[in-house]
């Protein structure tokens, strides 16, 4: 159910952006748009399906904590 709504939202976004891009013949913009949207869509889909995605914040936490240990305040 959520996935269907999600796909509809995606189609909505694409229909919203593509016509102006085609009219202006900006193909590079279109490629970037489709690439970014595709990536975002994939990420969102994986999150809806509850697949484990590496969390960048853990990395940040670990790094900063490493420095904490290095420099005892």
Partner 1 sequence: MKLEGGKIPANQLVFLIIGFIYGTVVIINPGRAAGNDAWLAFIVSMLVGLCFAAIYVILAQRFQTKNLLEINDLVFGPYLGKLISLVYLWYFFHLGAIVLRNFGDFLAGIIFPETPISVFLITMVLICASAVRNGIEVIGRTSIILTIITTIILVLTSLLSIPLMDFNNLLPILQTTKLKEFLTTVLISATFPFGETVVFLMIFSTVNNPKKLKLTTLIAFLFGGGLLLIQAIRNIAVLGTLMDIYTYPSYTAVRAVNIFEVITRIEILVVINFLTMGFIKVTVLYYAVSLGTAQLLKLKSYLPVVLPIGILMICLSLLQFESSFENSYFTYTIYPFYALPFQIFLPLLTLLVAIIRGKKGVPG
Tell which one of 1, 49, 53, 70 touches partner 1 (CB under 8 A). Answer: 53
Pick from 4, 56, 69, 72 the residue near partner 1 by CB under 8 A: 56
Interface pattern 5-44 for partner 1 (x via CB under 8 A): --------x--xx--xx--x-x-xxx-xx--xx-xxx-xx
Long-range contacts of 41-49 (CB under 8 A, 24+ apart): 41/10, 44/6, 45/3, 45/6, 48/2, 48/3, 48/6
The Cα 29–Cα 35 span in angstroms is 10
The H or E element spanning position 27 is helix 27-48
Where does this chain bind partner 1 (CB under 8 A)? Answer: 13, 16-17, 20-21, 24, 26, 28-30, 32-33, 36-37, 39-41, 43-44, 47, 53, 55-57, 60-61, 64-65, 67-68, 73
């Amino acid at each position: 159910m959520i996935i269907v709504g999600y796909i509809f939202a995606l189609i909505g976004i694409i229909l919203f952006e593509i016509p102006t891009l085609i009219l202006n013949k900006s193909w590079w913009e279109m490629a970037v748009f489709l690439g970014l949207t595709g990536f975002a869509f994939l990420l969102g889909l994986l999150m809806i399906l509850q697949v484990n995605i590496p969390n960048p914040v853990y990395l940040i936490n670990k790094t900063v904590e490493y420095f904490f240990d290095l420099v005892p305040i």
